[in-house]
Every structure is written in structure tokens, then in C-alpha cells.
Amino acid sequence: MTEQASNILAGKDEPAGVEAGPKGTISFEDTSLVERVRKGDMQAYGLLVAKYQDRVFNLICRMCSRRADAEELAQETFLRALERIRQFRGQSGFYTWLFRIAANLTISHRRRAGRVKFQSMTASDQYDGTQAEALTAKMAERRRPGPQAEAISAENAIRVNAALQELDDEYRLVVILRDVEDMEYTKIAQVLNVPAGTVKSRLHRARCILREKLTDLVSER
């Protein structure tokens, strides 16, 4: 099983380590780029957008499901961040600050529109499923997977995403940040503006709910 899928369905976690930034990103590079943006260097902001646009988009997709909405919210996130760039004090990493903006915009959008009900994934309405495959690959893992295994993996990906969509916002977001984005608890706490202990308790509860919803998939491990 992939590490992300194992974390969600088995509720396992690795010891916290020293975090330089998301997926090995070096945070001081962001600091330099932010300073350049504050001086009017839009090329520097373009580099920040290119660096984080996929991850922001994936985060939002996990929260709201609809690709069109996610694209608009991702654009709004970067526009909002640019407007507020002088308010960024560097007390957290830039990407943490950016994710907080994205999360707040998406939750506000969901509340305005009403809770989004999960529907079957289609190429025109949903994101590309890359993250879903990462979350569920082991559920259908074979030494040399054939068409049947691939079909099972796709079906499981849909089921995992359906279960995620049924979670309350506070639980879904913490699962995404921890098990998909692989953020440290302290960084998640900064994004959500809650104590690290609250992050851990929410994550534990969210994983328990997901395992209950996906009991048969867990039993196949």
C-alpha cells in the first residue's frame, strides 16, 4: 500500500521530523521570492505560482470536487495572496500561509453553495484522479496488475473520494493536509489556526470514520 493510503486506512503515522518545506521544498527560497514580489517583481510571483499551483489546485479539488470550481478558487487564492503579500510576516512558511488562504476560500465557497454531494467521477467535472490513485493503489495492488486490477483500483479511488466528500470540512481538510500533502502537525495547526493536539484528534477521528465507511477495503489489506 502507498504510504498515504496506509495512513488513512490503517491510521498509522510516522514520527515527526524536521520539515524544510512541502515535499522537500526549501523555505528560504520562498522568502527570497516573497521579498522580490514586495519590491514589484511579478516574475518572482510567477515562480511562486508555478511552484505551488498544482498542490493548491489538488487541495481545493479534494475539498470541493468540481474541477471548474477548483480552478476558479485556485486563481482566487493566488490573487488574494498577491493582494495581501505585504501582510505575510514570515511567521510560518509561505506555502502554509497560501494553503490557509486556499482552505478558507474553499470552505466559504462550500458554505455558500451548500454541502456538495459526491457524484460519480467524470472527466469533465472532476479532477484527474492522480491523488485518488495514490491513496488507493495498494487496495488493488498486484505484482503485475492487469485490466481487472486497474478497474478495481479505479473503483476504489472513487469510493475513497466519496467517503472523503461525506466528511465534515474540518475532518476532510486535516486528512488532505496530513495524508495527501504530508504536512507536519505543526504546519497543519498553522493552516487551521488550531492547536497541534486538535489536529491529531481530528485526524484520528477522520481516519476512524473513513475506516468504518471502507471496512471491506481495509479487510482486504
pLDDT by residue (tens digit) across 99-155? 999 999 998 888 876 654 433 333 333 434 444 444 344 334 433 455 555 555 667
Is the CB of residue 167 less than 8 Å from the CB of residue 63? no
pLDDT of residue 148: 52
Q: Is residue 109 part of a domain?
A: yes
Q: Is residue 30 part of a domain?
A: yes
The model carries a pTM of 0.64
Q: Is residue 101 part of a domain?
A: yes
pLDDT of residue 127: 39
pLDDT of residue 66: 80
Q: Is residue 196 part of a domain?
A: no
Q: Is residue 64 part of a domain?
A: yes
Q: Which domain covers residue 54, as residue numbers?
A: 23-118
Q: Is residue 105 part of a domain?
A: yes
Number of domains present in the structure of the chain: 1
Residue type, 108: S
Is the CB of residue 132 less than 8 Å from the CB of residue 161? yes
Other beta carbons less than 10 A from residue 147's beta carbon: 7
CATH code: domain of residue 55: 1.10.1740.10
Higher per-residue confidence, 152 vs 26: 152
Where residue 176 falls among pLDDT bands split at 50, 70, 90? Answer: confident
Q: Is residue 152 part of a domain?
A: no
Q: Is residue 60 part of a domain?
A: yes
pLDDT of residue 130: 46
